[in-house]
Amino acid sequence: MASLKGLRVYMAEGDHLPSEVFPPASPRKYWTRRGIAEWLLARLGEDTATLVGIDHGFSFPLRYFEVHHLAPDWHEFLDDFQRHWPTDEDIYVEFVRDGIRGNGAARMGNSRWRRLTEERSGGAKSVFHFDVQGSVAKSTHAGIPWLRYIRDQLGKRVHFWPFDGWDVPAGHSAIAEAYPALWSRNFAVEDRTPDQHDAFSIAAWLSHADRNDRLAACLNPDLTPPERAVAQVEGWILGVSGLICASNESTKSVTRFERGAKLRVFKAVRTPR
């Protein structure tokens, strides 16, 4: 499994600014996806309610499900996708794209297909838009099987938002899709690389939103019932839609994450593998 410079982890606790979490000492200088998955399993197994923001797509546009005759169920999608794109078995995305491993040809998408949340975000690219600057297609295809791995290991102890519901049960940890471009301009870059700053920004914004009681509004975006039904299949980017969520003004909503909760973020790789 490759050690990748773009994989970054930042964690914020309480009122403290996020700090970078480095991989355990080893010949590998940077994190691997397996290493991050194992680290998350350990952290999410603790008693403290934790919110994890991950910078890649968690699911695909509804059109993908229609074309491949799949049930509109995210958990079934995870199993089906991993069978065709087994990137949690130390297989590179390019190996699957080139037909060397897996069966990616049977589960391809079109770069013109976009999720509702990508359309609403104003800038997020399609999860099928490979080989362009700012694309998350590769990290999405590499990362989704690791979401399945975490789900299979932890079961109901972790809430995958919004697939498991829009409301996170009190005391539960949750994993949500994040898009750093929504927030990164709000924070000074200082001496961080672009990958580090993206991860820092997600952790910093989530921590700030939690302390100012805006996180609950973000977890319940202003969507119609039909839109919510689509989003529970396609996924939703935390912070997209909902003027209250995006505002700098505090709301009276009460977040379900206790004060001092550990807010952790996994910055998905965007560099070639």
The length of the chain in residues reads: 273
**Tens digit of each residue's pLDDT (9 = 90 or more) over 46-84:** 989 999 999 999 999 999 999 999 999 999 999 999 999
pTM for this predicted structure: 0.89
**Tens digit of each residue's pLDDT (9 = 90 or more) over 236-270:** 999 997 544 654 443 332 333 443 344 444 443 33
Report whether 33 contacts 245 (CB < 8 A): no
Strands lying side by side in the sheet with 19-21: 19-21, 8-13, 262-267, 50-54, 173-177, 158-160
256 in helix, strand or coil? coil
pLDDT at 90 over 70: yes
What is the b/e burial string over 189-213, where b = at least 16 CB atoms within 10 angstroms of the residue's CB? Answer: eeebeebbbbbbbbbbbbbbbbbee
Describe the chain by its helix, strand, coil percentages, rounded to 5: 40, 10, 50
**Tens digit of each residue's pLDDT (9 = 90 or more) over 91-143:** 899 999 999 999 999 999 999 999 999 999 887 889 999 987 767 899 999 99
